[in-house]
Amino acid sequence: MKIVLVSRIDDADALRYTGDLARDLEALGHDVAFEEGTARHLGKEGVPFEEITGDLVVVVGGDGSVLLTVHQMRKQVPVLGVNWGEVGFLADLEPDEARAFFAANKTTFPVERRLRVSLSVDGRWLGDALNEAVIVTDRPAKMLRFGVYVDGTPAERFRADGLLISTPTGSTAYAMSAGGPIVDPLIEGFLLVPLAPYMLSSRPHIISTGRNLEITLETEKPAHLVIDGQSTFELEREATITVKKADEPALFVSTGKPFFEKVNHKLRNL
């Protein structure tokens, strides 16, 4: 099995662990490579994110490291996260569990397909989000005006500090802290969560990916769209955001841990 390792590069212990894990994987007969930035800090040759291929990518880090990896890969490869962060909803394994997992799964492992959201503004594709895209003003305490259209029908108009367009996978991230529901990650739907809406009647929506979803923005203030915390785009004062199911989902290795058991465990330990 060809495995590429990605590590947090701002943590010496994470890098040391990644090097040790590479030796364990090689001892099990796997072909191991390192992502370019990780390799540089370990004094080895590496492969850029955009050129990663193979059977598996192991990310030693927090959710931000996993999001960066998925965001940068040109072709999606199954990802397994080893939690080296505070919460790690996208990382199924703790550091002391990884070696036993690979010893028990030497040749195959189950893979889950996770919905990503494809975002275009006025016909221009901006990118795909695994967790969420957020539309916010760059001036604190200034509100934006949004319109939500489903299959061409106006569904809601509201003013708010911003709007989250989340996937079910991202429901345990920013969307949860903004008052959105926790959603089974295998559900295929878009989660819209207003940020501090002016009217209490403006509530989160879950909309099927089979619908045509458009969001209009009308504002006199500068606004930005941020995808997974990785890419930021400036929006015009009047813009139409088209939300679709991305052609290529993210792929995650399933370790057999039930989703809601994992959520309960992680939320108890926050």
pLDDT of amino acid 270: 59
CA proximity to 92, closest of 77, 79, 81: 81
- Annotated catalytic residue 63: yes
Q: What is the pLDDT of residues 206-235, one digit of tens each?
A: 999 999 999 999 887 889 999 999 999 999
Low-confidence ranges of the chain (pLDDT < 50): none
Tell the burial category of 224 from Cβ atoms under 10 Å away from its Cβ (0-12, 13-18, 19+): middle
- pLDDT score recorded for residue 267: 79
Contact predicate 268/123, CB 8 Å: no
Distance CA 155, CA 11 (A): 46
- Between CA 227 and CA 120 the distance in angstroms is 11
Q: Give me 266's structure tokens.
A: 């992680």
| Active-site residue, selected from the candidate residues 13, 20, 63, 151 | 63
Instruction: Write down the pLDDT at residue 156.
Output: 93
The structure's pTM equals 0.91
150 and 213 in contact (C-beta within 8 Å)?
yes
Token pair of 205, please? 């929506």
